[in-house]
Amino acid sequence: MICVSLASRDWRECLRECRRHDFVEVRLDLMEVTPAQVRKIFSAHPRLLATCRPGRRAPARRQQLLLAAVEAGAAYLDLELDSSPAWRRPLVQRARRRGCRVILSFHDHRGTPGRRALEQVRLGCFGQGADVAKIACRVNRPRDNARLLALLDYRRPVVVTGMGELGRPTRWLAPLLGSPFTYACLPGQPTAPGQLDHRQLARLLRSIGHG
């Protein structure tokens, strides 16, 4: 399944675009949006993933936006593995009450760690309560892709993403190897390095008999 990642500045534009796709990640950290507008977006579609990465907003504001998304009906909530457990706790508790699945995500923007380190990250995600583990790493050598894809051989749902141009093969191979979904973007609007647009990715998956 393809998850289309959106970062429209205008919430109305985001809402319109959400309605055009089956599964969407709403990047709240890249939007100018209020909690009331977040509720309007997430109440209008049954399969939305709420993400609000750190950096642009204070932790309390990020928490407020994510709580609004969960209360309005988000299907998934993506939280960083290295975030404070105290900050995560109310979000996870609310998600559990609302039937929203929790993704704990790990990002390495410099490179791909070794096999054992990656396996420890995967274990850490589930050990801290994830329903789905997401591991995204910068791919600097083709064989980095192999280490990421090997993480999918697991009894619980794992999403892997190779960031950068060399990591692009993970974006169409991961669904073939057990990843519950893979990320894509709107044409010309990537939200992560190396992201394919959803039409291109859909064509690739159809050409290899998947999707």
Q: What's the rounded Cα separation, in Å, for the pair 107 and 44? A: 29
Going 33 to 108 to 82 to 135, the CA torsion angle's sign is positive
Residue 210, pLDDT score: 63
Element (H, E) at 46: none
Residues 53-70 as b or e (16 or more Cβ within 10 Å = b):
beeeeeeeebbbbbbbbb
Q: Are 50 and 76 in contact (CB under 8 A)?
A: yes
Residue 7, pLDDT score: 87
Name the CATH superfamily for 2-207.
Aldolase class I (3.20.20.70)
Give φ, ψ of 69 to 5 degrees: -65, -45
Residue 33, pLDDT score: 95
What residue ranges do the domains of the chain occupy?
2-207
Residue 176, pLDDT score: 93
The pTM of the full predicted model, rounded to 2 decimals, is 0.95
Beta bridge partners of residue 137, listed in sequence order: 108, 162
Q: What's the rounded Cα separation, in Å, for the pair 183 and 191? A: 10
H helices of 19-114, where?
35-42, 59-72, 85-98
Question: With a cut of 70, which residues of the chain have pLDDT below it?
Answer: 210-211
Residue 211, pLDDT score: 56
Residue 79, pLDDT score: 98
Beta bridge partners of residue 139, listed in sequence order: none
pLDDT digits (tens, 9 = 90+) for 47-61: 999 999 999 899 999
Q: What is the DSSP letter of 194?
A: T
- Measured from the Cβ of residue 160, the count of other Cβ atoms closer than 10 Å reads 28
